[in-house]
Structure 1
Amino acid sequence: MSAVWDILMHAYAMTPADCVAWRQRVDSRDLRLLREGNKVAGTLAAIRMGQWYGGRSVPVVGVGAVGVSPVHRGQGTATRLMTRLLQEARASGAPLSVLYPATQPLYRRSGYEQAGARYEIRVQMSALEMGERSLNLRAAEPRDEAAITACYSNMARFRPGWLDRGEFSWRRVRDPRSEQVHGYVVEGTSGIEGYVYLARRPLKDLKQELGLSDIVATTPAAARRLLRFLGDHHSLGTEVVWYGGPDDPFLLLLREQSYSVRVYMHWMVRVLDVVAALEARGWTRGLSGSLHLDVTDDLFPENQGRFVLDVENGQARVTRGGEGRLRLHVRQLASLYTGFQSAAALRAVGLVEADDASVEAAVALFSGPQPSLRDMF
């Protein structure tokens, strides 16, 4: 562990205290080390979780804390580390892997591609005086955790790319590494209808901003009550900051465009198993169609070749063979799979080869909201 901490301090400018806090959140069974001789040359954490696509949770292996010792950089160490991790992840049955890239060329060599973004949302505190106090708001308690988890899942399943959170992700929401977070719930006739976890961040001249590690409402009244609660901090508060997608529904309740939305970071996906990935996600009910794919994969020969994707009644069936009318690398399949890029956009820049009918079919089958992520990992 001392070698891991040394690598992380060099790679991410983490302090010893940061390393201790990070270690408390990561299960040792999720750590991977690459040794060169008798020295630890590289490390990463492989975190099992899920991502929502088409209303279904797809098992994924999240990759974090990738680091290489300074003396082993530039020698292919990170590539070997990632290759071994991907082989292990595929063998475990996970159809996808997801990560936030510190550098894209490394992960593109491993078959990852941009597949969505995490957006920072900043709202001026003065815009949050919604006048809604009909629902009860109180501090969250440990007994509320199951209801809070249910609230999150009810919303997240309609948000392509959002995590189907496990213990690791919930710890980051409720107890982030570098600040104190307080949780609050909103109660209505059906029980807990919304919640927020927030940290008060000091600024100059006694001012502060509110940083939200999570905010969810499952009813309109709960949404307005949470915004009213945040607005109650306006005497010293300047802005409220949280993360999500560009189509965050809370923004629709604001009277003016008193907010900013910007890309914080793109995340990348690696399709580990073409057949399993396409069959695991959900698809638009009432929409049916077929797509003949021809996939190239430099690492997994099982993903190489032609596949026929048949979609009907919200489910997919994938078989070997077909005419291969839409030709693409497994990297571009990741962008197509999540809905981040359309087949038309990919063809326009030469990343997909296809006839018009295949492009139109792919655009229809993979259409939906832009994929986003609220969580870091």
Structure 2
Amino acid sequence: MATTLHVRELTVDELTDAWNLGRHAFGFDPQPAPQATAVLPGLTRYGAFDHTGRLLGKAVDLHHEQWWSGRALPAADVGGVAVAPEARGRGVARALLTGLLRGAHERGAAISALFPTVTAPYRACGWDVAGVMRTVNLPTAALPRHRPAPHLTVRAGTPGDLPAVVALYERLARDRRGLLTRRGDLFDPRTTADTLPFDGLTLVEDHGHLVGYVSWDRGRGYRADAILTVHDVLATTADAARELIGVLASWHSVTPTLRLRLLDGDALTAHLPLEAVREHEQDPWMHRPVDVTRAVAARGWPAHVRGSVDFTLTDDLADWNTGTWRLAVADGDAQLTRVTADADLHLSVRGFALLYSGASTARSVADAGLLRATTGTDPRALDLLAAGGPAQLLDYF
């Protein structure tokens, strides 16, 4: 049975129905949190309605920013996609995501990420898996004991320290790719809160200057099944990293297990016994461009990389991305410009997402059927789009 769908922003009177739709999809508690049915800055909620005005599906555009090699890109990160059981398989999610992308494009977003419960519908809409956010368990007793550095001070943090904590996170995140800036309407209230948004905050300072921190929730119990959940553990120096590891090691008698997410290749992981790490959870995340010209021009690029390549891009949901383009990279910047000549490389939007996020190579994208090259053309010319290395996320949304 064909269904006529109308996608638009939800009104405040429709938020309870949208929450109930999400409750049935994800198994939420019966009573909504206050923010679930209130108008909030920093996000746009979309609904898909049938011809009678019945809500069949909903999705949320989160107005995040992501760091990409020193520059903050406006993102339309997607959350809370849910479709009524009787309407599934009828194009509701596709219509929702099409409307969300169009609205995100109009407000200036460049890129989009999401955490899928199932990948196939999002791949059909142009997203593809760009990485995996790993949550790991680490035995507290396995942590090395370091002699405290005499020039460092360790103390408990307070809500007044949160701006400095955010600044340290930004110092480490800005030169990477994909990490949220943790700025804007969805994050600013946490920085100015009167209470900590977690059980505890431990700071490491060097003559009053913050060089490391760990934020944590204690959990329950103190026997073999007790877990200390670490939200962030970040350091800007090796000494600070060792100090934080010593703080975490001190929990060994009451919390045998640490649960945390690690930032690849940072100061802390250089001093952890990674052979003792065990996977707790893996959350694949997906990426796609909202606007390819913004996605290329607004991010940072490796200063040593230069070159150009022409390709034709196909994007069924965001037609403003479809066409033949010339990518030119030089001196830490890049541009996409439209060209009229035929291109020997034909790239799907999923292939663009995989290359842009550093998740794959042009040869592998071609092997997957997401990049087609005319006979005699080397697809590796599009490795230029992958310059910069892989992206990573540390925040679930």
TM-score (norm 1): 0.89
Distance 1:158 1:123, change over 3 A: farther
Quote the offset at 1:171 in angstroms: 6.8
Quote the offset at 1:328 in angstroms: 1.0
Select which of 120, 123, 126 maps to 1:105. Answer: 120
Task: State how far apart, in whole Å, the 2-side matches of 1:365 and 1:300 are.
Answer: 19
Task: State how far apart, in whole Å, the 2-side matches of 1:186 and 1:45 are.
Answer: 37
Quote the offset at 1:65 in angstroms: 1.1
Aligned to 1:158: 175
The code of the aligned residue for 2:206 comes to G
Answer whether contact 2:112 2:289 (CA < 8 A) is retained. yes
Structure number with the higher helix fraction is: 1
Aligned residue runs from structure 1 range 51-62, under 5 A: 51-62=66-77
Distance 1:264 1:171, change over 3 A: farther
Answer whether contact 1:307 1:320 (CA < 8 A) is retained. yes
Aligned to 1:371: 391
Is 1:340 aligned with 2:359? yes
Quote the offset at 1:254 in angstroms: 2.6
> Which deviates further from its counterpart, 143-152 or 346-355?
346-355
Aligned to 2:200: 182
Distance 1:174 1:33, change over 3 A: farther
Quote the offset at 1:206 in angstroms: 6.0
Is 1:327 aligned with 2:346? yes
Answer whether contact 2:162 2:191 (CA < 8 A) is retained. no
Task: State how far apart, in whole Å, the 2-side matches of 1:66 and 1:187 are.
Answer: 42
Answer whether contact 1:60 1:97 (CA < 8 A) is retained. yes
Quote the offset at 1:242 in angstroms: 1.4
Quote the offset at 1:317 in angstroms: 1.8
The code of the aligned residue for 2:253 comes to S
Task: State how far apart, in whole Å, the 2-side matches of 1:261 and 1:369 are.
Answer: 24
Aligned to 2:48: 34
Give the secondary structure class of the aligned counterpart of 2:202: strand
Distance 1:210 1:100, change over 3 A: same
Aligned to 2:282: 264
Quote the offset at 1:246 in angstroms: 4.9
Query: Equivalent pairs: percent with the same residue?
Result: 31
Distance 1:93 1:180, change over 3 A: closer
> Which deviates further from its counterpart, 132-141 or 22-31?
22-31
The code of the aligned residue for 1:11 comes to A
Distance 1:173 1:120, change over 3 A: farther
Task: State how far apart, in whole Å, the 1-side matches of 2:257 and 2:35 are.
Answer: 28
Select which of 6, 24, 29 maps to 1:15. Answer: 29
> Which deviates further from its counterpart, 351-360 or 62-71?
351-360
The code of the aligned residue for 2:327 comes to L
Task: State how far apart, in whole Å, the 2-side matches of 1:300 and 1:104 are.
Answer: 19
Task: State how far apart, in whole Å, the 1-side matches of 2:268 and 2:38 are.
Answer: 30
Aligned to 2:230: 212
The unaligned stretches of length 5 or more in structure 1 are: none
Aligned to 1:144: 161
Q: Could you give the per-residue CA deviations for residues 270-308 of structure 1, whole angstroms, max 9, x where no partner exists? A: 212121111111110122111212111112332112111
Aligned to 1:78: 93
Aligned to 1:251: 269
Is 1:48 aligned with 2:63? yes
Quote the offset at 1:26 in angstroms: 7.7
Q: Could you give the per-residue CA deviations for residues 112-150 of structure 1, whole angstroms, max 9, x where no partner exists? A: 111222112322211223324332222222221221111
Distance 1:60 1:118, change over 3 A: same
Task: State how far apart, in whole Å, the 2-side matches of 1:32 and 1:222 are.
Answer: 44
Quote the offset at 1:58 in angstroms: 1.4
The code of the aligned residue for 2:175 comes to F
Distance 1:255 1:92, change over 3 A: closer
Aligned to 2:9: none
Q: How many residue pairs were aligned?
A: 373
Answer whether contact 2:64 2:75 (CA < 8 A) is retained. yes
Aligned to 2:5: none
Aligned to 1:305: 323
Quote the offset at 1:89 in angstroms: 0.7
Quote the offset at 1:192 in angstroms: 1.1
The code of the aligned residue for 1:328 comes to L
Aligned to 2:12: none
Answer whether contact 1:129 1:231 (CA < 8 A) is retained. yes
Task: State how far apart, in whole Å, the 2-side matches of 1:24 and 1:151 are.
Answer: 33
> Which deviates further from its counterpart, 242-251 or 297-306?
242-251
Q: Could you give the per-residue CA deviations for residues 323-368 of structure 1, whole angstroms, max 9, x where no partner exists? A: 5233210111011101011112112333212378754443355234
Quote the offset at 1:262 in angstroms: 7.2
Distance 1:120 1:347, change over 3 A: same
The unaligned stretches of length 5 or more in structure 2 are: 1-14
| Higher RCO, Cα 8 Å, sep 6+ | 1
Is 1:129 aligned with 2:149? no
Is 1:351 aligned with 2:379? no
Give the secondary structure class of the aligned counterpart of 1:114: strand
Answer whether contact 1:173 1:214 (CA < 8 A) is retained. no
> Which deviates further from its counterpart, 312-321 or 300-309?
300-309
Quote the offset at 1:25 in angstroms: 9.5
Is 1:281 aligned with 2:274? no
Aligned to 2:3: none
